[in-house]
Amino acid sequence: MLAVLRHRTYRHLFAAQVIALVGTGLATVALGLLAYDLAGAAAGSVLGTALAIKMVAYVAVAPAVGAIADRLPRRALMVTADLVRAGVAVFLPFVDSVWQVYVLVFLLQSASAVFTPTFQAVIPDVLPEERAYTRALSMSRLAYDLESLFSPALAAALLSVITYNWLFTGTVLGFLASAALVVSAVLPERAARPGPGGGRRSGVRGFLAVPRLRALLALDLAVAAAGAMVTVNSVVYVRDVLGLSEGAVPLALGAYGAGSMVVALALPRLLDRVPDRAVMLPAALLLTVVFAGLGAVTAASGGAWRVPALLGVWAAFGAACSAVLTPTGRLIRRSVPAGERTAAFAAQFSLSHGCWLLTYPLAGWLGATAGLDWTTLALGAIALAAALLAVRLWPAPPATHVHSDLPLGHPHLADALRVPTGWRHSHGRLTDGLHAGLR
């Protein structure tokens, strides 16, 4: 899988992603400490509000960016976003009131909502060969998982010798390094946008016009239900349900990350042999089974078995979520013309975070008011309904089918044969539903 790093442009872009993620991780730790300095015992509510603001920025800004991004230079867009993020991080150590934190968090995450979809849309052009692109997606998934494990450990080590304000300096340096690496990358020419009548509507409406991408949104909701349960309630399970020390919280979160990484490492070879649909839909349905296992742990009144059981449940959540999320880029790349990818990735970025905006407060509010039993039941029901909806929206097409109204140069026509009625595909066992609903 590491062979994909031999590609110079991708290597620079991947390094930019990793460094920016580490910087963001340091900022997350520092923001928690800053919130405690500003609000004391109310620091949790400050961070909860900041998290909600982050999601609102993602949901609101990404579609607006997607509408114009394909008309702007991609390198300039990503570099500008990195510079804005670095500039915001410079001001964070100097804030002295909570409202300033909220404003800066909104600006920081708005810039991320510009950078991330643009970055995601560039990679398919950099690595047009599907096998290499699949490995790049797994590398990206690993980067996110490793960041969630590495950044807190790095922050803890740094805090032993410096104050938390200096962590923001690391964030600034990370975003500046990311910008420099993007500048050093030679990006391929952008594919031309389809002419009048030659393409599908772009943005959120265009995204939702494609059945399999509507299925992807349902899959995102299933993942958000599981991910919110882990993110919001890990500390409650560790401290209150299992009666462990706070030092066990990173162990639980690490189990989730480990499960995700194992699947991310295995997926490239698996996706060489089986279609995306055969991986993503079963993984989403598996989330419901894992929720049932979590219900058993939650309902149990005692027993030492609950500790390894919870770690196993968290690892299974991570594995299933990774199996759903990692192939997402392949699905989007195959679903829209190259000239509309940034808008499609921006739409997916916005809609998927809209799912998290729903499940995050639901996981926290239900856990605090109704208890973990009802929370597990509610989020498990959401995951089940979303997975079943995805199955319904993403039917498997026949192995051979004909397209009569796609424009010449559309990515779906790359392996097609011209016939009197249009273009014929014959994908054999690799048929994965990617053509269902094309107009």
- Tokens at 430, concatenated: 């690799």
Say how many C-beta atoms besides its own lie within 10 A of residue 408's C-beta: 7
pLDDT at 197: 42
| Residue 97: strand, helix, or coil | coil
Alpha helices in 130-202 (DSSP H): 130-159, 165-184
Give the length of the chain.
Answer: 439
What is the largest distance, in Å, between two alpha-carbon atoms of the chain?
Answer: 73
**Tokens 């398919």 belong to which residue?**
124
Instruction: Measure the CA–CA gap between 212 and 101, rounded to whole angstroms.
Output: 39
- CB-count exposure of residue 204 (10 Å: 0-12, 13-18, 19+): buried
Contacts of 118 by beta carbon, 8 Å cutoff, 6+ apart: 65, 69, 74, 77, 78, 81, 342, 345
Tell me: the pLDDT tens digits for 129-160? Answer: 888 888 888 888 888 887 777 776 777 778 77
pLDDT at 406: 61
Element (H, E) at 410: none
Instruction: Measure the CA–CA gap between 283 and 153, rounded to whole angstroms.
Output: 30
Tell me: the pLDDT tens digits for 394-422? Answer: 987 655 556 655 665 555 555 555 555 56
pLDDT at 242: 85
Instruction: Measure the CA–CA gap between 362 and 375, rounded to whole angstroms.
Output: 8
Contacts of 296 by beta carbon, 8 Å cutoff, 6+ apart: 309
Residues of the chain with pLDDT under 50: 195-200, 428-439
Strand order in the sheet with 417-419: 400-403, 422-426, 417-419
Tell me: the pLDDT tens digits for 36-48? Answer: 788 776 666 676 7
